[in-house]
Amino acid sequence: MNSIIKISGAIGVITALVSMYIAWQHNSQCEIHCDESIYWGYLLSIGASWLFVTASIIFLSLLVIQKVKTHNKN
């Protein structure tokens, strides 16, 4: 169970960082940064949403796989 949490968290963090980088690069209409200002709330909300969704999906998928493997051994 502990390894499932670590794996899903790591994949979630990587996905969040990539999505934040993409948002930074494709900064349409100064939504993320403009002139000398960085809008951290918006940037971090993008990262947090991708982290939560990705980590949840990976966690649940790995948990089901683990339960199926354990059930098939018995």
Give the pLDDT confidence of 27-58 residue by residue, as tens digits. 888 899 998 899 999 999 999 999 999 999 99
- Whether residue 21 has pLDDT greater than 70: yes
Count the neighbouring beta carbons within 10 Å of the beta carbon of residue 6. 10
Global pTM exceeds 0.75: yes
DSSP H or E run through 42: helix 40-73
Identity of the residue numbered 7:
I
CA distance 30 to 27: 6
Q: Which two tokens stand for residue 66?
A: 């683990």
Q: Residue 73 pLDDT > 80, yes or no?
A: no
Q: Residue 39 has what pLDDT?
A: 92
Segment 7-14 mean pLDDT: 97
